[in-house]
Amino acid sequence: MLTRVCILFLMSILHNLIHRIPPALSLKALGETLRMTQELTNNKLKSLNQNGSDPFNEMKHRFLSFKKNKFLEDLECFQNLANGQAPKFMVIACADSRVCPSTILGFQPGEAFMVRNVANLVPPVENGPTETNAALEFAVNALEVENILVIGHSCCGGIRALMSMEHEENSSSFIRSWVVVGKNARSSTKAVASNLSFDQQCRHCEKESINRSMVNLLTYPWIQERVAKEVLSIHGGYYNFVDCTFEKWTLDYHESSSEGKSGKFSLKDREFWC
């Protein structure tokens, strides 16, 4: 409201200037008035940001834009989705706010069943129930997805927490108690990359933990059975958001299954997208 009053006041001044001073000076006055108006607007926006604007207001506009430009434009598709889903992918990704599979890989509604957790880890079946294996059970047994994709990423805080652990004993920290799921990835990283810097070790472990999660998937009988029948494939992906590249690979079941529990595995179909 204040900005609007100021702008009207400045416009009144501008009107008087235009009629009272020579044309050359009028143009100069016009430029000065526009500059002052822009400064007032910028100060108003800066004040709103400093005082804290309602984040849900922007969210509301995004939703209404989605409804207008996506939902209503493709109404038949969304009506079909209201009756059921048949995604081809089950995606396990990190909870990191910088890593959104739908944004990075362009998944549309109905294309991927997703679960996100700290460090995109998959616990082995013997660890007991978690929200991750509950989602896996539904995706594999009910939705009958054809692909499971585990997506890791650069600069992962969960992996740094894992690599920073001195011991694996029980901890009151929920984060430590969860990331210990990746202890095999940590051990193998320490074994082969101990001469590297801590940051480089973390980078190695970010990818190694994906592979260990892929192997852990085979500890679930209903996953192992479908992979053996070649109606389900297990894939790994690594998103580097520093240089915006993506690596993708596939678990070679027939080369890995016999020794999967020993931690040995084989990969195939590597691709690098840049």
Measure the CA–CA gap between 23 and 28, rounded to whole angstroms: 9
**166-202 in b/e burial notation, b at 16+ Cβ within 10 A?**
eeeeeeeeeebebbbbbebbbebbeeebeeeeeeebb
Instruction: Choose the catalytic residue: 96, 202, 203, 212.
Output: 96
Instruction: Choose the catalytic residue: 116, 156, 204, 205.
Output: 156
Which DSSP category does 67 fall into?
Answer: I
Measure the CA–CA gap between 26 and 170, rounded to whole angstroms: 76
Active site residue 96: yes
CB-count burial class (<10 Å; 0-12, 13-18, 19+) for 240: middle
Helix axes 157-164, 198-217, angle to 10 degrees: 100
Instruction: Choose the catalytic residue: 15, 35, 98, 270.
Output: 98
Active site residue 155: no
Beta carbons within 10 angstroms of residue 95's beta carbon: 13
Query: Residue 103: enclosing H or E segment and its boundaries?
Result: helix 101-105
Q: How far apart are the first and last CA of the chain?
A: 48
Active site residue 156: yes
Active site residue 74: no
- Single-letter code of the amino acid located at 248: K
Instruction: Choose the catalytic residue: 153, 204, 212, 235.
Output: 153
Q: How far is CA 204 from CA 47, 159, 189, in A?
A: 44, 10, 7
Active site residue 274: no
Measure the CA–CA gap between 120 and 158, rounded to whole angstroms: 9
Query: Any idea which residues carry the catalytic annotation?
Result: 94, 96, 98, 153, 156
